Structure formats: structure tokens, C-alpha cells
Amino acid sequence: MTTTSDRLPAAGADQAATGPTKPTPRVDVHGLSEQLLGRWPEWRRHARARSADPVFWKDESLSMAEHRERVLEQMRRLATEDEKHQVWLAFPERLGGGDAPGANLAGFEELVVADPSLQIKAGVQWGLFSSAILHLGTPDQQDRLLPGAMDLSVPGAFAMTEIGHGSDVASIGTTATYDPDTEEFVIHTPFRAAWKDYLGNAAAHATAATVFAQLITNGVNHGVHCFYVPVRDPETMEFLPGVSGEDDGLKGGLRGVDNGRLAFDHVRVPRTDLLARYGAVAADGTYSSPIDSPGRRFFTMLGSLVQGRVSLDGAASTASKLGLAIAVRYAAERRQFTSSSPVDETVLLDYATHRRRLFPRIAETYATHFAHDRLLDLFDDVFSGAKDTPENREDLETTAAALKATSTTFVLETLQECRVACGGAGFITSNRITSLHHDMDVYATFEGDNTVLLQLVAKRLVGDYAKELKGATSTPAGLARFVVDQAADAALHRTGLRRAGQAIVDAGDPRRAAGHLRDADTQRELLADRVATIVEDVAMALRPAQKADPATAARIFDENQVQLVEAAKAHADLLRWSAFTDALEQVADPGTRRVLTWLRDVFGLTLIERNLAWYLVNGRLSAQRARTVTSYVDRLLDRLRPHAVDLVDAWGYGPDHLRAVIASGVEAERQEEARAYYARQRADGSAPVSEKSLKKKRG
């Protein structure tokens, strides 16, 4: 693969050289691309090859109904014509799968390159419907129910979300009441707010569903459990007796997914169709579970379905790469305004404003990629059984929530910035950016609303802090030490002593301030300190709620809810920065490592710049260092200018993946044609004289 310097001028190359310049490092694009393939390169390559096949591409000309049928046919190809059966990787080998959960997700995420609707509909079938059977069913139930789900002879819906409760799954209204006389569960929707909604496959294609309902037996509600429920006659595709539904209709994106609603009017299913891994009912109605605590049982069942959040984090990262690759390639060719030359217009990437809008997002996308690789490793450790411990499961749930919430917000902001950076061309559907934005929009609210997920993360952080605090203050000596540490922290950070120390060290020299800021330990300290401080402040503010009445406790929580979310965001930032920093150690090529280090510094310092007010108010940075952050980031962006195209090329997406006209090289051809036209006019003297030049001569 060629590098940027083989194709493009460096920043300011339109200007005459004024003297010798330092040699710049080169990015080994092929080597970096190989590293970014991660732990399962074979499966990523295979999935990318499928996504480059036109038969799987999104066709923007189709109606909603036509798009739905096209995606269903694409899924049948994935299930029956793919000789490697990539979509079956997560399932047991005894059923034709691969027992390879990490490899499965590594490939599944790449389907977003072909068509986000295909990725989501495939995710519904094999990542939700089938996975509910796999993770919540017994081995006998798996053997009976999984084959049809795997080969798509039984298209399925995942019926968890209800109109009235959304992310509050524990409070869903659908009931499953056991009838010992017939050994059946009666599935019932008692009111309109309990209708299952936004369900992929429900509007047209599903013949069965995994339905989540409150399990009631012998007059006792044992909480939410999952049931396998047939919903349509596979021959006529008509709803079965007692089942009703509606089509959600046209949506803002993902038109190839047939989202719909389902309701149940005393629908009976056999006792054996309660997916019984974590809770079973005997013939006489006696309930039993290997997990005694109802709360822990509920979170264990939901935690076993965490792969949806993991896969959305990866898909959001991929979509960010697509948008940035299109925008950067266009900006490397598009020229606008004569600035450095009286005759040649300037390449967009040579403008500081353009570098500012795109390069920090390239840096953040790399950070998101490396953090996702860590998440995939953790996911595989847990679900392969290699390191399936309660601690790892808890870490997986928290990390998946933090990263999914962060990346699915970031991708929407990034695609919008890419759209604007491409001007009117970015608004044209054939250049894909607007289409990707529409399809990715719902990623911010499904598989857990992002704000709710961040509160989940913050709850874990505050809970861990409370445990440490309880241990540290359990003795008089520990309590005294805690009070002293608190006083010392206040004296150092909140009275200006730390800022004064930084000012003395920097001695007014911006270069010294920049030297401290580019130090990895300094960046880590600043990012980690922000997490720790916000968590501590929120934890201390919430302590009175522990002994308060419910109304007072709710008020205290509400007063601190925004800060809880800030703590989770800061934690996600630290996770991504740490993953990026660790990944630098794996880069063998010196030039590539140097460029990626600049990129990591851009990410870290942009995070600090984004929260500069906090660092100043809380005494973590002096005014000198605060002023230096922005200027040093701009210097780094200038250094990265010659490497911009290499950095997006290393993501490994070629023309058949991007499928955007403005990223195809056609803009360079247009620009060269225009430049040649004006050059010929200047050479043969046929160029008209400008009015402005005539006025100058007369003056």
C-alpha cells in the first residue's frame, strides 16, 4: 500500500521551500493495518470481504418494504451460503458453531460497512433471539430450539422492551402466570403500556420470539424471566391465536429492519418453554433457581446478554472510521480559496480549522478502537469460559456500558462534523455520510439508553469508592488518616498551592509547560485525578441518602445525577486513553509509533482542553499550563498533517467499503483539470485581465 507522502504534498507544500526541514517519520500503513485487525484477523478479513461484495450493499433506491426483503435475503445468504458460517461462531460446536464468542463479534461488527440494517437485523436474529436461547436456556432447550434460529428457518424477535418502561426492564408489565392443571404458562399483556415495542423482525418476518415477562407461580412473582413463544404460522405468516402486532412503520434510519410491536392475550406455552438456566418451575408450580437472590438473578440474566452492547461499541467505532476516511480523503484533494499562492487554491487539510475539526476525531477513533479491543478480550474471556468469574462479569458489564454509551454518542457527533466538513458534497446520499448518520442515530438509545448506562457505570464507581472508604475508616486511626488526607487535598488543590508550584516550575516558559503536558504520566494523572475527584465528591454528597426517607433520598440523588454522569464519562475517557497508551507498546515500527504517540497526545490533551474549566477551578492546572494546552494541540495537529490519509488508510477500508464518490479520487481529477485549464490560459496569454489588477495599474 502506498503512503500519504507518495500521493500528497505535505502541509504548505504549495509554498516555496524556505530552508531545510527536519525529516518526518513515516507511517507503516500495512503494518499498522495488520495490528488493528486485532486478535481475530482471519474473521475480520472474511467479514470485510463479505461487506465488499455488492450483493450485501445497501441500496438507497429501495422502498422500505423492498429494503426489508433485501436484508432478509442477505441474511439467508449469511446463514446458508457462507462456507465458513461466520454468523454461527458464538454457538456450540455440537450444533455446528465455533464456541468462539470473541471471533463472532469481531466479524459481526464489520457488517455495518455493508449496510447497518443488515448488521442490526443479523444482531436481532443471532445476537439477541438466538443468544437468549443459548445463554438463558438449558442444554436440552438449546438442542431443541437453536438449530432453527441458527439456520434462519425460524426468524425470531427479541421481545424485552415495552412501550411504558424502555430501559427499566425490571418493571415490565407482561406476565407469565403458571397453570399447574395444564403445565403451561399464560403469557399476557395486561395494558397498552406493556406492549412489546421496537422489536426487530416483529413487523413482518418473525415466527417466534423470546418474550420477557414477570414469572408468577403459586401467587408469587419471581421477577423477569424469558420464554420461547411462537408468534406466527410459518406457512401463512399470520399471527397465531392470542398474538397481535403492529408495524412501527417508517423510521429515521435502519429501514431494512422490520421493527414492530407485539401483544399477547392469554397465550399459552408449555412449561418446558421457560428458558430455565437461571429459574425453573416444576410440574406442581414449585419455583427453583441456582441463584437465591432475586436481584442478583435478574442482573445475571441480563448480564448474559451483554454482547449487544459490546457489538454496538464496535459498530460505532467502525462507522466513525468510515465517515472520517471519506472526509479526510476528500479534504486531501479538495481545494478552496487562494491563500498561500496567487494562482493555486489551498487544499482543505492545509487549513488549521479543518485539521481541528477532523484530526482530534481521528485520534479519538483510534482510542475507541483500542479500548474496544480490550472489551472484546474481556468479553471472550467471560463467554468462552476461560476466565468466567463474578468479578470479570461485573467488569465486563461496567466497561461495556461505559464504552457503548461513549462511542455511540461520539459517532453521531463525528458523522455530523464529517458531513459539514465535506460541504454540500457531504449532504449527497451517494457519499454515505448522511445515510450512516441516520442509521446510527438509534444506537444511542437501544441496548440501553446512553444516559441510563452512564448512571449504571457511575453507580459501580461510587459503590467501589464506598467500599474502600468503609474499610479505610473502620478504625479510629483510619478515620483520622482519612480526615488528614482530605485536609491535605484541599490545601494542595483548592488554595492554589499546586497551581503556584506549576507556575514556578514552568517559570513562564510555554515550552516547559508543553513538556509537562506531553508527558504520558502527566496526562494519566490529570485524567485519573478527575475521575477520582468527581467520584469522591459525588459519593460524599450521596452518603446522607443511605439513612434518609425515600423522598429525601430521591431528592439527594436527583441533585447529584448530572455529576454522576460526568464521573462515568471521565471514567470512559480514562479507559480509552489507557488502552491507546498500552497499544503504543505493541507498535514495532519507530516511525509509526512516533506518529501514534502524537495522536495519543492529541487525544489526551483534547480531553483536558474539553474540561479545562474543571482543571482550573479545582486547582489542577496553572494558568500558564492551561493556556499551553490549546497551542500545543494545534502544534501536534500541524505535525500530523502529512500523515492524515495514512492514518485513515490503516483502518483497512478500500473503495468497495467506503463507496463514496468524493473518496474515490474523482475530486483530485476535477481539481487537476481545473488547474491545468488555468495554467494553459496563463501560458498562452488568453486569460482575461481582472478588474482589480487594472485598477492597481491605474492607481
Q: How many CB atoms lie within 10 A of CB 520?
A: 14
Of 364, 345, 358, 337, the residue nearest 422 (C-alpha): 358
End-to-end Cα separation, the chain, in angstroms: 55
559 noted as active-site residue: no
State how far the Cα of 698 lies from the Cα of 423, in Å rounded to an integer. Answer: 39
Residues 471 and 464 sit within 8 Å (Cβ to Cβ): no
Q: Which of 333, 345, 447, 667 is catalytic?
A: 447
State how far the Cα of 283 lies from the Cα of 289, in Å rounded to an integer. Answer: 15
State how far the Cα of 451 lies from the Cα of 561, in Å rounded to an integer. Answer: 10
SS (H, E, C) 164-188: CCCCCHHHCCCEEEEECCCCEEEEE
State how far the Cα of 628 lies from the Cα of 511, in Å rounded to an integer. Answer: 8
For residue 4, what is its C-alpha cell?
500519504
SS3 of 26, please? coil
Of 531, 605, 593, the residue nearest 566 (C-alpha): 531
Residues 645 and 329 sit within 8 Å (Cβ to Cβ): yes
State how far the Cα of 270 lies from the Cα of 273, in Å rounded to an integer. Answer: 5
Angle (deg, nearest 10), helices 450-472 and 476-493:
120
45: enclosing H helix or E strand: helix 41-51
Residues 602 and 363 sit within 8 Å (Cβ to Cβ): yes
Please give the DSSP secondary-structure letter assigned to residue 239. B
Q: Which residues are catalytic?
A: 447
